[in-house]
Structure 1
Amino acid sequence: MNSIRQVNLGTQGLAVPAIGLGCMGMTELAGLKTYGPANDAESIATIHRSLELGGNFLDTAELYGPLLNEQLIAKAISGNRHKYIIATKTGVEIDHNGKYTGKANGTKSYVKKAAERSLKNLGTDYIDLYYLHRLDPETPVEETVEALGGLVKEGKVKYIGLSEVGSQTIRNAHAVHPITAVQSEYSLFERQIEELGIIDTLKDLGIGLVAYSPIGRGFLSGELKSPDDIAATDLRKYLPKFQGDQFYKNLELVNEIKKVALEKNVTSAQLALAWIMAKGHVPIPGTKRVKYVEENIAAVNISLTDEELNRLETIIPLGTDTGAKYSEEGMKSINR
């Protein structure tokens, strides 16, 4: 197995490769093909190739599928569980029929039940990193984190995290049980957590940042030329960044980034990943194809000078409007 540079994710003792693998797109999400159709065999081959290259940090959630994504990962890691670092998430309610109920649930009883179900679906007796996927507005975060901490005491979870939460929620949670990582959408195209001071909070508390959609949900790859390139069954079709005039404004920014990538003889996707790693964060680009996992992992070896970092951040400075990362309704559940 090749080795990827290891980094400390937060300050609680969890070491991970400098880049992970987001597995959401390997199954459907509430009936939508996330980034196009998936094939189980190809997805499993991608996970195996990632491991061969040293990429053993996999990210999933009970919501993905729902439940099917965890079950797919169980097939991929069967017989080699000890070689992988598995992160999954709870708190977005899935009922006993495996259906998404449309609401968040961070109660102690749900977290405990969901953890047992995830352990079963993943075919494991422990979860390396267990996140609260979305904050439950009806349940104090302290109660949820207390339940997560209980799972740590039982040995069923090693480290805990939060996803898409605001600074005060992070501080409140960390006071109950040490938080290892916070997962948020973060890329050259999406820097809201910088603008809100959330990254400063993480640094202050010694909590790691795991950046999902680090290639701007594929936009920063430069492969999309028109909103028509996105199928009606693709999740991105319904996100503001990919709609109407906003799409073409974003395309102009991507074309500028491609110029920098061309000068460095790398792809624009690799450049976007290298930018996040240079900032000291762990990106988890999602893919279900061997070709792209190889390309993504190769970005670990790209170094950027301060001048290059500044150039990229001048192309898309803080405050640039690239479109909201979710619909108006979806935005209500994040950064609280």
Structure 2
Amino acid sequence: MKKEQIQENGMDRRGFLKRTALAGAALCIVPALEKVNAAEKVISDRQKSLNTGMPSLAALHDTRTLGSGKAAFQVSVMGFGCMGLNHNRSWHPDRKQEIALIHEAVERGVTLFDTAESYGYHVNEKLVGEALKGYTDRVFVSSKFGHKFVNGVQVRTEENSTPQNIRQVCENSLRNLGVETLGIFYQHRIDPNTPIEVVAETCGELIKEGKILHWGMCEVNVNTIRSAHKVCPVTVIQSEYHFMHHSVEENGVLALCEELGIGFVPYSPLNRGFLGGMINEYTQFDPKNDNRQTLPRFQPDTIRANYRIVEVLNAFGRTRGITPAQVALAWLINKRPFIVPIPGTTKLSHLEENLRAADIRFTPEEMQELEAAVAAIPVVGSRYDALQESKIQK
């Protein structure tokens, strides 16, 4: 139902969501299906128009379900991480080009876009909001709360997930993005001073109020997930996960997601671009806008040592006609049916490359071969500095 039709019937979209929730229906099912169907139609129409014998453009053909039951959320098999459009990834194109890139992602079937208030305090949200204006009937946007800011400056030694701050960040995100409802609202990092049960209860209230469809958490352990899930069903966990960092396999988080029917969204699925093979020991990072220069794993000596892993991916992909980045993304998609990676890029060529990875299927034998080859090479250097690492639950 279009927004104008809803208003003619005497209530806006948020009011409609509230009434639906009070009636006991599953929030998001109807709008989610409408958006998925719209995206599928775009893909179908594009594919029909390309049946001319010419090579087709990359597009997403499949969807995946994050969460289960009333917390289920259907999205494209791959999302788009928006942070690097302006924050922590060195140089980037101008705003017009970045907006055009997001439009291209939408047209090629991406339905999940990931941002946060902290990606250049409100800057990334406003950019994404501008880019998705007119497309919000076809896509979902996820954002995050939990960092502490004072006068727009992040207090890096503290977090803030008090109910008051969660609600304030939610209102800011809705306004910045120009939407009435967030697809997913994540706790960015755990707040040791606010019980996770309080966080879950607050997010549950926001769901009932129609301000968010689903909620999730980033970089948390199995105990936190279980405690939160009992209060308000968690739709998705977002944590770093790729060939050079797979702690979620070792600490039980991935297995718990499978047990409880919770989706999993790996951020930095290409290890901040490294697994794409375009970074080497001579790469220069913008000192004013790139956190990689501060990370132990991105120093010249560690880059040199870890590049052996890229060569493994390159060797594996060469005989199959795929790139190292496609090997890394396809591995994640083949790993579990509830995994939806969110690679980011500022280049159309990389968007094309990433989306094609969604169509790649590996046999169990290929997965074992690939994992064994990577495991034989030790990863050198920590992924974060000590302060950032202290905020990750083990």
Task: Classify the TM-score, shorter chain.
Answer: over 0.9
| CA deviation map 1:89-138 (0-9, x unaligned) | 1111234x433232210101110111111111111111011100110011
CA contact 1:105–1:136 (8 Å) conserved in 2: yes
CA contact 1:195–1:318 (8 Å) conserved in 2: no
What is the distance in 1 between the residues matched to 2:74 and 2:245?
26
Q: How many residues end up aligned between the 2 structures?
A: 331
1:15 counterpart letter in structure 2 = Q
Q: Secondary structure of the equivalent of 2:375?
A: coil
Q: Secondary structure of the equivalent of 2:215?
A: strand
CA contact 2:309–2:377 (8 Å) conserved in 1: no
What is the distance in 1 between the residues matched to 2:381 and 2:95?
32
CA contact 2:297–2:303 (8 Å) conserved in 1: yes
Alpha carbons of structure 1 residues 74 and 287: separation in structure 2 relative to 1, 3 Å: same
Q: Secondary structure of the equivalent of 1:48?
A: helix
What is the distance in 2 between the residues matched to 1:256 and 1:206?
33
1:168 counterpart letter in structure 2 = N
What is the distance in 2 between the residues matched to 1:19 and 1:130?
18
* 1:299, distance to aligned residue in structure 2 (A): 0.7
Alignment match, 2:294: 238
Q: Secondary structure of the equivalent of 2:185?
A: strand
- Asked if residue 294 in structure 1 is aligned to residue 352 in structure 2, the reply is yes
| RMSD between aligned residues | 1.6
Alpha carbons of structure 1 residues 319 and 253: separation in structure 2 relative to 1, 3 Å: closer
What does 1:274-313 align with in structure 2 at a 5 Å threshold?
274-280=330-336, 281-313=339-371
* 1:83, distance to aligned residue in structure 2 (A): 1.1
2:191 counterpart letter in structure 1 = D
* 1:85, distance to aligned residue in structure 2 (A): 1.1
* 1:40, distance to aligned residue in structure 2 (A): 1.4
Alignment match, 1:113: 168
Alignment match, 1:126: 181
After the TM superposition, which of the residue ranges 182-191 and 311-320 deviates more from structure 2? 311-320
1:67 aligns with one of 118, 122, 125: 122
CA contact 1:25–1:38 (8 Å) conserved in 2: no
- Asked if residue 142 in structure 1 is aligned to residue 197 in structure 2, the reply is yes
* 1:320, distance to aligned residue in structure 2 (A): 4.1
* 1:201, distance to aligned residue in structure 2 (A): 1.4
Alignment match, 1:22: 81
* 1:35, distance to aligned residue in structure 2 (A): 4.2
Alignment match, 1:219: 274
1:138 counterpart letter in structure 2 = N
2:111 counterpart letter in structure 1 = N
- Asked if residue 321 in structure 1 is aligned to residue 379 in structure 2, the reply is yes
Identical pairs, percent:
36
Alignment match, 1:98: 152
- Asked if residue 257 in structure 1 is aligned to residue 313 in structure 2, the reply is yes
* 1:232, distance to aligned residue in structure 2 (A): 3.0
Q: Secondary structure of the equivalent of 2:387?
A: helix
Q: Secondary structure of the equivalent of 2:106?
A: helix
| CA deviation map 1:57-80 (0-9, x unaligned) | 100001111111110011011122
| CA deviation map 1:243-273 (0-9, x unaligned) | 2432222101111111011111011001100
CA contact 1:261–1:267 (8 Å) conserved in 2: yes
CA contact 2:242–2:270 (8 Å) conserved in 1: yes
In our comparison, the structure showing a higher alpha carbon Rg is 2
Bigger RCO of structures 1 and 2 (CA < 8 A, at least 6 apart): 1
| CA deviation map 1:11-33 (0-9, x unaligned) | 122001110000001123xxxx4
After the TM superposition, which of the residue ranges 259-268 and 242-251 deviates more from structure 2? 242-251
What does 1:68-83 align with in structure 2 at a 5 Å threshold?
68-83=123-138
Unaligned runs of 5+ in 1: none
What is the distance in 2 between the residues matched to 1:186 and 1:207?
16
| CA deviation map 1:181-227 (0-9, x unaligned) | 00001011111111111111111111111001111111111111215
What is the distance in 2 between the residues matched to 1:205 and 1:35?
38
What is the distance in 1 between the residues matched to 2:86 and 2:121?
9
Alpha carbons of structure 1 residues 209 and 127: separation in structure 2 relative to 1, 3 Å: same
CA contact 2:238–2:267 (8 Å) conserved in 1: yes
What is the distance in 1 between the residues matched to 2:348 and 2:262?
31
Unaligned runs of 5+ in 2: 1-41, 44-59
1:321 counterpart letter in structure 2 = V
